[in-house]
Amino acid sequence: MSEALTGLRVQPPAAEAATTRPETPAPEAVTRDAVTDRPDAVTGRPEAPAPEAVTGRPGTALGPSAPDAGHRRPAARKARRLGPGRGVPFGRLLGPALLIAVWWAASAAGFLDPRILSGPGTVIATAGDLVADGRLQGNVLISLQRAGLGLLFGVLAGVAAAVLAGLSRTGEYLVDGPLQIKRAIPSLAMLPLLILWLGIGEQMKVTVIALGVAVNMYINTYASLTGIDSRHVELAEVLGLSRWRFLRKVVLPGSLPGFFVGLRLGVTSAWLGLIVVEQINATSGIGYMMFQAQQYAQSDVIIVGLVAYGIFGFSSDALVRAIERRALSWRRTLAG
In the structure, what pLDDT confidence band is assigned to residue 220 with cuts at 50, 70 and 90?
very high
Q: DSSP string spanning 198-257?
A: HTTSHHHHHHHHHHHHHHHHHHHHHHHHHTS-HHHHHHHHHHT--HHHHIIIIIHHHHHH
Least confident of 31-45, 98-112, 218-232, 286-300: 31-45
How many whole angstroms separate alpha carbon 86 and alpha carbon 3? Answer: 112
Degrees to nearest 5, angle at CA 39 with 36 and 40: 155
Residue 147's alpha-carbon distances to 70, 117, 172, 189, 227, in angstroms, are 73, 28, 29, 19, 30
Is the pLDDT assigned to residue 38 strictly greater than 70? no
Looking at residue 335, its pLDDT comes to 66
DSSP 63: S
Q: What percentage of the chain exceeds 90 in pLDDT? A: 38
Average confidence (pLDDT) over 73-80: 65
Q: What are phi and psi of 85, to 5 degrees?
A: 90, 180
- Say what the pTM is: 0.70
Number of CB atoms found within 10 A of residue 111's CB: 9
